Structure 1
Amino acid sequence: MWSLLALVVLAITVVVAMNWAPDQPVQKLQDRWATAPSRFVSVNGMQVHVRDEGWAQDPVPVLLIHGTSSSLHTWERWAKDLKADHRVISFDLPGFGLTGPAPDNDYSIAAYLRFVQNLMDTLGVKKAIIAGNSLGGEIAWRFAAEMPLRVEKLILLDASGYDFKPQSVPVGFQIARIPILAWPMDFLLPKSTMEDSVRDVYGNPDKVTPELIERYTAMTVRAGNRAALRKRLRQLQAGEQAALIKDVRVPTLILWGGKDKLIPPEYAERFHQDIAGSKLIMFDELGHVPQEENPVVTLAAVKIFIQ
């Protein structure tokens, strides 16, 4: 009996040792993930990770908003190209990336709208072309519906907003929803869990590289982000304001991955129907993060739309 118990304890010890990944302070991650032109801007009591690039005098900058558990890095290829002709602003939302958790633990869409408004004010942006992916897409269209005078054009990439029914949910999101796993989740992060989660949002999982897994892992273990994700998911009310989508009156481009299993393509059609005059482009081979999976082809459509 004692031998069996010893083996169990040994097995648990080995598993914990192999998957040990406690929170990391933001200062430890900055050298690798906040290189120039990154800077930190004070907004709503947070030090927000921002990249503000390109034509500084641009009267209508391009504002890029990432999705759940992502970061401004998802837009790097877009920003590199767009900054030749535009001012391009990307940033880490509260609860994600290097910005980290919100002091008030409010991760409602209303709180994110106030945050984006205050960030724009801080950066001196009166009006912007706003693009958003997933959660960032919901923030973008809600902003356009409620503050249309501050939005020149809108670009939605696999946006949330309806009470959608996923075909598949990344395993990391599934774990974050289970209260009993909350404490272990703050200290353990199996490499396979992160890899499976990222592969799940790509149309072609073979495009997921070790470098990509390293980045998503670093953003996950930023101090406070795992707890913030749990709080965000508890505050999630899918489809609560879907009726407002019809209030969007700015020119809108909808880009969608035909292989998106998290928010399937049928919801792209609903956005297209509900937003008058919108244009929809479906990328049959891409998944939930088309701007990251194939920045070249997605950006080509965007440049035509905004220029």
Structure 2
Amino acid sequence: MVEIKEKGEFRYIDEGEGDVMVLLHGLFGALSNWEGVIKNFSSGHRVIIPMLPIYTMPLKKAGMDGLADFVERFVETMKLDNMILVGNSLGGHVGLIYTLKNESKVSRLVLTGSSGLFENSMGGSFPKRGSYEYIQERVEYTFYKPETATKELVDEVFETTKSIPKCLRIVAIAKSAQRHNMAKDITNIQIPTLLIWGLNDTITPPLVAHEFHRLIPNSKMRFIDKCCHAPMMEHPEKFNRILENWLENEAHKAA
């Protein structure tokens, strides 16, 4: 088990040594979403995952800019630089906003199932409190194989949605993400960017990856078949191999 560390307002994972890789989880994401990436990359990288304050931030600040500000404070506190920034779903969206404001701190950007252009949020509806079956169906909708949604994962999301304050924040952040379209801004991203997408993504469909690829000048796009919205959870080995190969190629180009 990886250790969750604390410093001031921040809870995070910090494993390994080497080039810094910062991972940003999605709206219902958790640190556990990145287990396969931590195992694979912490032998040669310093892998850092901040717990985004999705359920705890002040309601007035519950939105994309508030989350990007949080990442800025985290990076400053941890004195991070020259980061490989990897974001899934809402985490990719936060990563885009952060990168546009702080491009000198990011050497590489990786988006997987990222929002920011279009997303079918929660499969088109917001969480219904108190219905376990509904939550199970929504969590399963995130994956190509429904059994990827373990009972532990469904229980975790169900517990979260039972809390009215947490639900209010989830809805506020989801609506903020839908309003915050980045099509005009992301043409300014100059750093090498990798898009790793599930070919069967129902929440940010493959069309979204093609649109990111068209708009971000220095981007590469890779698809994983039989994969939905969380490639690093559904196909960790394929995800890691694509990411490893791309990082090696980019390092050779820079050398």
Whole-Å separation in 2 of the counterparts to 1:278 and 1:143: 17
The amino acid across from 1:280 in the alignment is M
Displacement after TM superposition at 1:235 (Å): 3.1
2 CA distance for matches of 1:153 and 1:111? 23
> Which of 41, 46, 54 in structure 1 is aligned with 2:16?
54
Q: Tell me the SS of whatever aligns to 1:285.
A: coil
> Aligned residue for 1:41?
7
- Partner in structure 1 of residue 51 of structure 2: 92
Q: Following TM superposition, by how much is the alpha carbon of 1:161 offset from its aligned partner in structure 2, in angstroms?
A: 1.2
Tell me which residue corresponds to 1:22: none
1:182-261 alignment, distance < 5 Å: 185=129, 188=130, 190-220=131-161, 224-261=165-202
In structure 1, C-alpha distance between the alignment counterparts of 2:101 and 2:51, rounded to whole Å: 22
Q: Which residue of 2 aligns with 1:9?
A: none
Q: CA deviation at 1:284?
A: 2.1
| Cα gap change, 1:108 to 1:76, in 2 (>3 Å) | same
Identity rate, percent: 25
Q: Judging changes above 3 Å, is the alpha-carbon distance between structure 1 residues 251 and 237 closer, same or farther for their aligned structure 2 residues?
A: same
Match of 2:36 among 74, 77, 81: 77
In the alignment, the residues of structure 1 paired with residue 86 and residue 67 of structure 2 have an alpha-carbon distance, to the nearest angstrom, of 15
* Partner deviation per Cα, 1:134-184 (whole Å, 9 max, x = no partner): 11111112222221101010000011111x263xx536x7244xxxx7xxx
Q: Distance in 1 between matches of 2:95 and 2:203?
A: 19
| 1:141 matched to 2:121 | no
Of 152, 160, 166, which residue of structure 1 is paired with 2:107?
Answer: 152
1:265-304 matches, cutoff 5 A: 265-304=206-245
Q: Work out the CA distance in 2 between the residues paired with 1:222 and 1:299.
A: 35
Tell me the alpha carbon deviations over residues 53-91 of structure 1, each in whole angstroms, 9 at most, x when there is no partner.
Answer: 111xx3x41000011121222111111211111100112
Provide the C-alpha distance between the structure 2 equivalents of 1:219 and 1:79, rounded to a whole number of angstroms: 25
Distance 1:88 1:292 in 2: 16
**2:62 matched residue in structure 1:** 107
Q: Secondary structure at the match of 1:52?
A: strand
Q: Does 1:174 align with 2:125?
A: yes
What TM-score results when the alignment is normalised by the length of structure 1?
0.74
Q: What runs of 5+ residues in structure 1 fail to find an aligned partner?
A: 1-34
Match of 1:87, SS state, is strand
CA distance, structure 2, for counterparts of residue 267 and residue 230 of structure 1: 22
Q: 1:236 to 1:144 in 2, by over 3 A?
A: closer
Q: Structure 1, residues 220-269: CA drift from partner, whole Å, max 9, x if none? A: 55784222112223434435332111111111110111111111110100
Question: Letter of the aligned partner of 2:108 in structure 1?
Answer: K
3-state SS of paired residue (2:116): coil
Gap regions ≥5 residues in structure 2? 249-255
Secondary structure class of the residue paired with 1:267? helix
> Is the counterpart of residue 117 in structure 1 residue 72 in structure 2?
yes
Distance 1:175 1:144, change over 3 A: closer
What is the count of residue pairs matched by the alignment? 248
Q: Over aligned residues, Cα RMSD in angstroms?
A: 2.2
